[in-house]
Amino acid sequence: EPIGIFDSGVGGLTVLKELRRILPYEDIIYLGDTARVPYGIRSPETVTRYSFECTEFLLSKKIKLLVVACNTVSAISLKEIQKKVSIPVVGVIEPGARAAVDSTKNGKIGIIGTEATIKSSAYFKAIKAISEDLEVFGLACPLFVPLVEEGWTNGIIVRLIVEEYLKSMLEIAVDTLVLGCTHYPLLKGVIQDVMKDVSLVDSAIETAKVVRKVLEEQGVNSNEQGVRGQGRLKFYVTDSTDKFVSIGERFLQSKIE
């Protein structure tokens, strides 16, 4: 049985990339709701309604585990999705929060994400639930998503925008910064340059590790190469495929067929 993964658009391909890297033999079905992206600006009710529709579509494909790759959906609708389905559901917030707690030494953690993710305080709550004593600072960086989708992931303009947004994080002197949005791993180079010695937490990588653990616990992992080699990847989108493929290949760093 395949793993199902959905996102509001192409962004979740950063999570798929990490899943693929550490679970190469799993079949994976990806759904990008490209017709309705971005979710980051919508009301919680609408985000939940859209994500139920994505969940139902993937369940109809008989998946064994669901990954909610979108930070916005994970922040707002994860619990409701978990209540609705009987298979394991893994979101991106909890894994990122846990990695941040493990990483910080000075107790100051920064979170960057979309307006909706930051407004939901989901990372804040997830970190506080692990350790009360930590300080958590959230910051929305709404220009990062369109920059990345335009393919602007380095150069002087990007650098200036990143510097302007992250100025406050440098002033606060966080020692750990969570990339709380699917698109931000593509800006990792510039963000690391600007933030100097601060540890960056990539939620996509942390989520893939949790998925591997859950599959192992349930005894439903496909870690055998078997006769057909690598697992199959299948992509579905709710809008035209052209743009998804051209932008998506940059996110996935491999061909989309």
Q: For binding to ligand DGN (CB under 6 A), which residues are involved?
A: 7-8, 11, 37-40, 70-72, 113-114, 117, 145, 181-183
**Of residues 162 and 221, the one with the C-beta less far from ligand DGN:** 162
> In a 3-state reduction of DSSP, which class is residue 108?
strand
Pure H helices in 131-185: 144-149, 156-172
- Output the six-digit token pair for 96: 């990122």
User: Which residue in the list 58, 66, 68, 70 is annotated as catalytic?
Assistant: 70
* 141 is an active site residue: no
**Of residues 55 and 114, the one with the C-beta less far from ligand DGN:** 114
> In a 3-state reduction of DSSP, which class is residue 2?
coil
Containing H/E element for 220?
none
Strands (E), the chain: 3-7, 28-32, 65-68, 89-91, 108-113, 135-140, 176-179, 199-202, 233-237
Task: Output the smallest distance, CB 16 to ligand DGN, in A.
Answer: 12
Cα-trace Rg, the chain: 17
**Of residues 2 and 40, the one with the C-beta less far from ligand DGN:** 40
**Of residues 7 and 202, the one with the C-beta less far from ligand DGN:** 7
Class of residue 177 by CB neighbours under 10 A (exposed 0-12, middle 13-18, buried 19+): buried
User: Which residue in the list 109, 181, 205, 211 is annotated as catalytic?
Assistant: 181
Distance CA 27, CA 44 (A): 31
Best CA proximity match to 180, nearest among 70, 51, 50, 54: 70
**Of residues 18 and 231, the one with the C-beta less far from ligand DGN:** 18
Residue pair 46/77 in contact (Cβ under 8 Å)? The answer is no
Residue 44 phi/psi, 5° resolution?
A: -55, -40
Q: Which residues are known catalytic residues?
A: 70, 181
